[in-house]
């Protein structure tokens, strides 16, 4: 008797195609690589813009800080002006500085009625009063972010400001710029600087308040 023995059924296993589940396609892998590069290479850039508001002529100028600086010129008389110049420190960019400069084109005399500057801001619970301890004399107007000359001349806040002779590197000049540097507490994004009235040739003259603003914007550089 012949027994017919059947061979067990053989299972043929084939390697899965690249598109089978569990095996990523090249397109999907490329997408992951592009997304990873984008997340790591595209770093947002924060830039700041500065502005000034008040009664007078607004202008922009460069100084020794990395940002564009703004200033406001208020003419108290035809010959005497108060210039409010806002900037940041050259070495410490998070610190704000405002200089109040009195400039003269004739022999008028200016005196402070109170040796202080009032700074108000929404960031403050109450106005900040910054005392004026010294006034720097200069022959030229310069940014508060720049270091003053080593041979700078200073005077007390109760002394009269008027054109007077001075020297720079041994040369005779006329000091016609009187600078009051003010450090702004806490660096708020918006603040107002107010100087008490001054006396010009003995007559009281109001100095209008000036507001400085800082606006920030975020941009994403293009990925090459």
Q: What is the pLDDT, as a whole number, of residue 46?
A: 56
Q: What is the pLDDT, as a whole number, of residue 144?
A: 86
Domains of the chain, by residue range, sit at: 47-219
Q: Which two tokens stand for residue 111?
A: 């005196």
Q: What is the pLDDT, as a whole number, of residue 140?
A: 87
Q: What is the pLDDT, as a whole number, of residue 29?
A: 43
Pairing of strands 153-155, 135-138: antiparallel
Residue 153 neighbours by CB distance under 10 Å: 16
**Per-run averaged pLDDT (10 residues), the chain, 224 residues:** 47 42 45 50 62 91 77 96 84 75 96 97 94 93 82 91 83 88 90 97 97 74 59
Q: How far is CA 118 from CA 81, 94, 148, 173, 192, in A?
A: 19, 21, 24, 33, 8
Q: What is the pLDDT, as a whole number, of residue 50?
A: 77
Are 82 and 104 spatial neighbours (Cβ–Cβ below 8 Å)?
no
What digits encode the pLDDT tens for the residues 55-91?
999 988 777 877 778 899 999 999 999 999 988 765 5
Residue 32: strand, helix, or coil: helix
Residue 35: strand, helix, or coil: helix
Residue 210: strand, helix, or coil: strand
Provide the CB-side half-sphere exposure for 67 (13 A, CA).
25
């Amino acid at each position: 008797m012949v027994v017919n023995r059947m061979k067990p059924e053989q299972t043929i296993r084939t390697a899965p195609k690249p598109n089978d589940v569990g095996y990523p396609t090249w397109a999907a892998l490329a997408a992951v690589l592009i997304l990873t590069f984008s997340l790591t290479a595209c770093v947002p850039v924060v830039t700041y813009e500065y502005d000034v508001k008040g009664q007078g002529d607004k202008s922009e100028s460069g100084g020794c800080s990395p940002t564009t600086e703004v200033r406001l010129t208020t003419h108290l008389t035809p010959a005497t002006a108060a210039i409010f110049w806002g900037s940041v420190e050259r070495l410490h960019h998070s610190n704000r500085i405002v200089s109040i400069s009195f400039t003269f084109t004739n022999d008028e005399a200016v005196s402070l009625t109170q040796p202080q500057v009032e700074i108000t801001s929404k960031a403050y619970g109450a106005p900040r009063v910054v005392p004026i301890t010294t006034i720097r004399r200069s022959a030229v107007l310069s940014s508060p972010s720049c270091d003053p000359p080593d041979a700078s001349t200073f005077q007390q806040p109760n002394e009269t400001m008027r054109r007077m002779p001075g020297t720079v590197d041994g040369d005779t000049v006329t000091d016609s710029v009187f600078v009051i540097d003010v450090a702004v507490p806490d660096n708020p994004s918006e603040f107002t600087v107010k100087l008490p009235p001054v006396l010009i040739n003995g007559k009281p003259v109001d100095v209008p308040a000036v507001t400085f603003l800082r606006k920030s914007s975020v941009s994403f550089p293009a990925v090459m």
